[in-house]
Amino acid sequence: MPFSDYRTALVTGASTGIGAVIVERLAKRGLEVHAVARDSARLDALAGRTGCVPHTADITSTEALAAVVSGLDIDVLVNNAGVSRTGNILTADEFAVDEQIAVNLRAVLHLVRLVMPGMVERDLGHIVNIGSIAGVYNFGGNTIYHATKSAVHTLSRQLRVDGFGRRVRVTEICPGRVETEIFGRLLGDREKAQREFYDGYESLKPEDIASALEFAVDSPRHMNVGHIEILPTFQVPGGLEFERRAS
């Protein structure tokens, strides 16, 4: 179903990083793009560059999401917004659990609930969930993030079951390390994050993720690209640890 079949798109987490680049890419392909984020200044700047329609909203508010999509027929929904916190379940506090569930999972479920029925009725639509390799592989730390992204991984497959028989496509994109602001927000120190996570590494760029999305959306209408795992060449997930004890 090429871009010419679609008219409108909605992108969350749109003010920076992957989301902003996706907005730019979809706007260049001729879609009316509704960009959702909390940072109104960055959204306005993005609107100035791309012509997108900015919506300053907190996606953890179901009422705010409903207001954003009210009266809109969204053809392409991109669930991109996400947050993470350091530590595992042994060190997590209540806020870390609630925030990540609210942003990474609950908002995704509500947006799909609000938008997908219209796609089914029109027999036209594409849902793209920006997941993570953390949703399909286990590695140390960020336990709640892993759990929420794993739920998005399962949801992405389930949505194809829910929309069976209608021309509604679902794509999950699972990136490895992408050079964005997420680690800077995570550590509260952008320069430290740059040194620890990006300097000396060949990381993915937001443009790489936007290109993967563009490929999936622009595929022929008989073709659903269900899952894209995209990592830097020098990043390999997985591994096995085995602790040996004498007693």
Q: Has residue 20 got a pLDDT over 90?
A: yes
- Which one is catalytic: 6, 137, 145, 201? 145
Nearest of 125, 23, 38 to residue 73 by alpha carbon: 125
- The pair of three-digit structure tokens given for residue 58, joined into one six-digit string: 């907190």
pLDDT tens digit string along 202-235? 889 999 999 999 999 999 999 999 999 999 999 9
Residue type, 46: L
Q: Has residue 60 got a pLDDT over 90?
A: yes
Cα–Cα dist 129/170, whole Å:
8
Total residue count of the chain as it appears in this document: 247
Give the contacts of 155 (CB within 8 A, at least 6 positions apart).
108, 109, 112, 129
pLDDT tens digit string along 153-201? 999 999 999 999 999 999 999 999 898 877 767 667 778 767 777 777 8
The sign one gets for the Cα dihedral 87, 93, 97, 102 is: negative
Average of per-residue pLDDT across 96-116: 98
Domains of the chain: residue spans and CATH: 3-230 (3.40.50.720)
pLDDT at position 72 is 98
pLDDT at position 184 is 65
Average of per-residue pLDDT across 60-80: 98
pLDDT tens digit string along 92-105? 999 999 999 999 99
Among this protein's residues, is 145 annotated catalytic? yes
Q: Has residue 81 got a pLDDT over 90?
A: yes
Band of residue 139 on the pLDDT scale cut at 50, 70, 90? confident
pLDDT at position 113 is 98
Average of per-residue pLDDT across 16-40: 97
- The pair of three-digit structure tokens given for residue 39, joined into one six-digit string: 């940072």
Q: What is the longest distance spanned by two Cα atoms in the chain? A: 66
Nearest of 42, 205, 12, 41 to residue 114 by alpha carbon: 12
Contact status, residue 43 vs residue 15, Cβ threshold 8 Å: yes
Say whether pTM exceeds 0.85: yes
